Amino acid sequence: MRKFGTLGLALVLLAWSLATIAIDSISKPNLEIARRLEAGSKPDESYIYRVQAPDPRQAMVFCPRELVRSAVTIKLVKLQAIARAGAEPKLMEALAEVDAFVRKGLSCFPSDGNLWLRLAVVQLALNGPTVSVEKMLELSARAAPSEA
């Protein structure tokens, strides 16, 4: 009986290790790109369009915070590039896509002040100043008052 318990624990640890390796392999490239973008790197527009944020289904399977945050950063930089290009139909579509992605991220991390702040910015761009934008800003401030 004891052998089965040990074997079961070993299988759980093996599955956990494999999942961690899979998450790291998906996250690593996006984390590095997001870090550079957040540090103020100004890549040309062709680079921004070539960078692919993770598919929302990949990012939300295990909900790793780093993958979600880096994907949001990449999507927001692309959104800025679209806004600078002045493509109105593409801009509204991209805003809606980022809004949906950030909301999915918040379903994994409802107390992430950074995500609430980013959602507030996207909602402000979509709808202007509203009561819901104010509430999102309040949630951001309460959840992470000293986060950069």
Walk me through the domains of the chain, giving residue ranges and CATH numbers.
27-143 (1.25.40)
> pTM score > 0.75 for this model?
no
Tell me: pLDDT of 134 over 90. yes
Per the CB < 8 A criterion, the answer to whether 120 and 133 are in contact is yes
Residue closest to 91 by CA, chosen among 105, 75, 104:
75
**Cα 119 to Cα 111: distance, rounded to the nearest angstrom:** 13
Write out pLDDT tens, residues 6-24: 777 777 777 767 666 665 6
Own/partner long-range contacts of 135-140 (Cβ < 8 Å, ≥24 apart)? 139/113, 140/113, 140/114, 140/116
Residue, of 84 and 35, whose pLDDT is higher: 84
Instruction: List Cβ neighbours of 56 (8 Å cut-off, separation of 6 or more).
Output: 71, 100, 101, 104
Write out pLDDT tens, residues 55-93: 555 555 557 777 778 888 888 888 888 887 777 778 888
Average pLDDT score, the chain:
76
Write out pLDDT tens, residues 43-53: 666 665 555 55
